[in-house]
Amino acid sequence: MEIAWEDYKGKKILKVDYRGILFDNEMVAHLNKAVSILKQEKTTDKLRFYSDVTGCFATPGFMEAAKLADKELSKTYKLKSAIIGITGAKAILLNAYNLVAKAKVVTVKTREEALEYLSED
């Protein structure tokens, strides 16, 4: 359940770890904390972040909060994000989210893949 900045290939990337969170309200609170940290970032570059949702379930409440957070952040910043731990039915939900929120959250399998993708460009 960590939220921390990482420096990778000269890019500042926020890691948002949801592993171990079981309840909707805790996931939304963790998301809101990550959004607060991202909003404090003064950059003209993209905001880069990845989430690890391994073993978690994205409830409708969490998905709505994520959609609103993405909309709010994208008003001010260009976003680049990746997500770890998406398998099976979660992949279908993520595709629907990307369509509805007009987002482009890329699914990766490992932290290293996330960092590589997010450090490109």
Averaged pLDDT for residues 23-51: 93
- Calpha distance 40→1 (Å, rounded): 20
* Residue (of 112, 120, 64, 54) closest to 87 by Cα position: 54
Specify the CATH number of the domain 3-119: 3.30.750.24
Q: pTM of this prediction? A: 0.87
| pLDDT cut 70: percent of the chain above it | 93
Report pLDDT for 87.
Answer: 80
Hey, where are the domains in the chain?
Answer: 3-119
Report pLDDT for 102.
Answer: 64
Averaged pLDDT for residues 9-30: 95
Instruction: Render pLDDT for 77-101 as a digit per residue (tens, 0 to 9).
Output: 999 999 999 887 777 776 776 676 6
27 pLDDT higher than 70: yes
Strand order in the sheet with 79-84: 3-8, 11-17, 47-52, 79-84, 105-108
Report pLDDT for 67.
Answer: 85
